A and B are shown apart, each in its own frame.
Chain A
Amino acid sequence: MALDTLTDMRRMTRRQLLTGATALGAFVIGNGYVTAAKADWATEMVAMKPEDFATLIQMARDIYPHDRVADEFYVRAVKSYDVQDKAEMAEAGIRALNQRSREMKGEDYLDIGWERDRVDVLRSMEDDDFFQTVRGGLVTGLYNQKEVWPIFGYEGSSYEHGGYIDRGFDDITWIG
């Protein structure tokens, strides 16, 4: 699964990883993998072209932008498209996205500098199946990762801690 792939790649040194790589938007594209400049993650491609996958990561962030949520959570959220039977659909979707980007903004999606311009492109496609598939998948793909919950303050399962009866169920202090 995505998580293992990320961990595996961490064992490579940054130097090995970055040899021959090129920058694309916020990402670094290598031979068969995607990473980011200062990232401690990298993901090896199974079925998708690295530049398409990088575009998909950016698209995911632009759909549900949380500035305190690191890229690797978005990578995990869309890694499920990087498999044989979904890659074709995803790459066709990314091709259409880039084409629309060039029509509207004169450059590929990842080359567009401002989020608002990328969002213009996405808005124009929001009723398309591809957009809806990616957005719908993110609702669980992103927000159901237990590792992102603490970023939002959510504490998850509480039974094993004895509930909140002695852990602040009524600890609010600012009610007059």
Chain B
Amino acid sequence: MTAPFELTDDSVVVVIGTGAGGGVLANELAQRGVSVVALEAGGRYLPEDYVNDEWDSFGQLAWTDTRTTSGDWRVAKDFSGLPAWIVKAVGGTTTHWAGASIRFQPHEWKALTNYGAVDGATLLDWPIDAEEMAPWYDLAEAKLGVTRTGDRPGLPGNNNFKVFEAGARKLGYEEVHTGRMAIQSTDDGDRIKCQQTGFCFQGCKWGAKWSAAYTDIPDGEATGNLEVREKAHVARILHDDSGKVTGVEYFDEDGNLNFQAARIVAVAGNSFESPRLLLNSASSMFPDGLGNSSGHVGRHYMRHLTGSVYGIFDKPVRMWRGTTMAGIVADESKHDPSRGFVGGYELETLSLGLPFMAAFLDPGAWGREFTSALDQYENMAGMWIVGEDMPQADNRVTLSDAEDQWGLKVANVHYSDHPNDIAMRDHAYRQGAAIYDAMGATRTMPTPPYPSTHNLGTNRMSERPEDGVVNRWGQTHDIANLFVSDGSQFTTGAAENPTLTIVALAIRQADHIASEMSAGNL
């Protein structure tokens, strides 16, 4: 069933990473008859392997290879070796993700035009817009089975949502519902209906939530056009004298370095590993790394504003029961500079189990102020803030002096908040607390951002080659047969969770690559 390809076969498209971007691209190419070798650093885990235990699951799925951090974000102090909480496994971070799947708003595709220049920020318009993306969003929503799109009903609200919804309505918010989720809500779909298990972040054991690991990857393999090589860590992308890429070097499970030839290479290792790989592939012809003649590779790292608000009540909530991200308030996602910042944010319910709550509620805190909050765990409700953070040239991924187990330079992730980010987060903290106060909270807690889950922007898309790394197709401006296919393409972050957009871009890119290949242009 799965296609084996020769290392010397230079007719294949090599996809690096099998997450939201790479996993979907690999399948969509395979569906169009293109031969694909997907190289994935992590192993393969399926619903029967997932565990309903936060730290055990973290040990099973999370990317824990060395990374370093700098900048004034609190993550660099509290979790200096763990800038992101993302996955190293077939299916990438779609095993961890909560499933919130919302489209960018039309104005967000043109942030520079609509917000105006912001001091210290490197805002830019995307070279594409809402109209062009609409049909790709339709396909992405159908693929992921997103609730409240098409004829798919919403999920029922859990306890955490009911507190959130009632408080939001008391404040006058109107766009409040159980979200657009890539989680099966009915009995008649391809996937089992959500059983309200409450471990969405640990991999859905029912397969109710969409993950590339058990949908796109096996679908692609079933065509006979896709070979997924797991535990294959790509070290370098190579090129010939004409400046076209020729294939990739990767370490296999046994530590052997192999060369896989390729007609096209698509990089989809998430926003730290993708720029790292381009930088680590520097050569005499491309001394600053591949695709980096503009100097933008690694820059403009965005992670969404984030932050959480937890509220404590005098009665039980039991927020951990049911879907982790169980609903949304979208009223604040508009662009309304009268609030003191550009762009907007979403509020979405969130719950952590006791072990993660202890680690993330207020990292480093101790004593009774902290423990008296945990004592009320059963009476807590929680929400997460997802807002548009400002791209900044110096928030960036560079090569660190540290090396990983393969002797490759690792990514250093530098991030500092922009004043717009701080103003927006403060606003969101106040509104979040007000929602819980309206429900009689006895205490609310503005919780700092966790290690990043949304990682964007480090190979950004731009109309002009001097402004970014890739063009409107995710093709590098410098090298025609080198593509970027993950969240690192994002020109700006918008207020929405990014994965639906990553998937829509991947489907569109697959369509483009396949037609350019058959037209003989690639």
Residues of A within 8 A of B (CB): 62-66, 68, 119, 126, 135, 139-140, 142-144, 149, 152-160, 162-165, 167-172, 174-176
Contact = CB atoms under 8 A, between A and B. Distances in A.
B161 to A, nearest CB: 8
Given A163-B197, A168-B318, A153 B366 contact: no
B374 A66 contact: yes
B139 interface: no
Contact of B195 (A139, A149, A165, A171): A165
Contacts of A142: 358
Interface in B354-384: 354-355, 357-359, 364, 366-368, 370-371, 374-375, 377-378
B147 to A, nearest CB: 16
B358 A158 contact: no
B316 A140 contact: no
A152 B317 CA distance: 13
B205 A159 contact: yes
Contacts of B156: 169-170
B55 interface: yes
Given A62-B367, A64-B366, A159-B206, 15 more contacts: A64-B370, A142-B358, A152-B374, A155-B318, A155-B321, A156-B353, A158-B199, A159-B197, A163-B195, A164-B196, A164-B198, A168-B321, A170-B156, A170-B159, A174-B315
Interface string B191-207: 00011111100000110
B508 interface: no
A174 B367 CA distance: 31
Given A163-B195, A170-B156, A119 B367 contact: yes
B369 to A, nearest CB: 11
Contacts of B315: 174
B102 interface: no
B320 interface: yes
B48 to A, nearest CB: 10
A71 to B, nearest CB: 15
Interface in B98-143: none
A157 B52 CA distance: 5
Q: How large is the interface on B (under 10, 10 to 19, 20 to 34, 35 or more residues)?
A: 35 or more
B157 interface: yes
Given A158-B52, A169-B196, A170-B159, A153 B377 contact: yes
A158 B159 contact: no
A81 to B, nearest CB: 18
Instruction: Give the secondary structure class of A's interface.
Output: loop
B166 A140 contact: no
A109 to B, nearest CB: 16
B65 interface: no
Nearest to B439: A175
B366 A135 contact: yes
Contact of A163 (B198, B318, B355, B370): B198
Contacts of A63: 366-367
A169 B359 CA distance: 24
Nearest 5 pairs of A and B residues by beta carbon:
A153-B378, A163-B195, A169-B322, A157-B52, A163-B197
A163 B166 contact: no
B367 A65 contact: yes
B197 A139 contact: no
A140 B439 CA distance: 32
B354 A149 contact: yes
Contacts of A65: 367-368, 371
Given A68-B375, A171-B159, A144 B55 contact: yes
A164 B53 contact: no
B362 to A, nearest CB: 11
B355 A175 contact: no
Contacts of A158: 52, 197-199, 321
B359 A139 contact: yes
B300 interface: no
Given A159-B205, A175-B163, A154 B52 contact: no
A163 B354 contact: no
